[in-house]
Amino acid sequence: MKIVKLEDVVGTEQEVNGGNWTSRRLLLAKDGMGYSVHDTIIKAGTETHIWYQNHLEAVYCIEGKGEVVTLKDNKVHPITAGTLYALDEHDEHLLRGITDMRMVCVFNPPITGKEVHDENGVYPLVNE
């Protein structure tokens, strides 16, 4: 069994600053679980275009307040602590932080840690 603490990840290459967000990757593909788990801070006042065409992601807000806008229908979904959104259709969306938001994110397939968002907000599939 593995025990991972947030403090073990902070300040390592598993803490990634994406500009509008900082993601602390607790579990990655290398951990062999079949999914990755991230503790991500979305910064207040930011809007990020995201479209994970190669991944499914569930995002559970545990602190803060914001919005997700699904671009196929321009619907605005309020996000507060205790709300989860699941991108079960690889939904293209905008993620807005009204305050800082703390999100627990799960990706299937797992992120390897080497992905960066391209200009379409997409993560490529990376085979290790």
110 part of the interface to ligand 9YT, by CB under 6 A: no
Q: Which tokens belong to 7?
A: 């403090």
Q: Contact between 41 and ligand 9YT (CB under 6 A)?
A: no
Binding segment toward ligand 9YT, per CB under 6 A, in 2-10, 16-24, 26-34, 76-84? 16-24
Q: Burial of 98 by CB count in 10 Å (0-12 exposed, 13-18 middle, 19+ buried)?
A: middle
Q: Which is nearer to ligand 9YT, 1 or 11 (CB)?
A: 11
Helix (H) or strand (E) holding 97: strand 93-97
Q: For ligand 9YT, how many residues bind (rule: CB under 6 A)?
A: 11
From residue 2, give the alpha-carbon distance in Å to each of 8, 19, 86, 95.
12, 30, 26, 31
The interface with ligand 9YT within residues 49-88 (CB under 6 A) comprises 50, 57, 59
| CA–CA distance, 23 with 26 (Å, rounded to integer) | 9
Binding site for ligand 9YT (CB under 6 A): 18, 21, 23, 38, 40, 50, 57, 59, 95, 103, 105
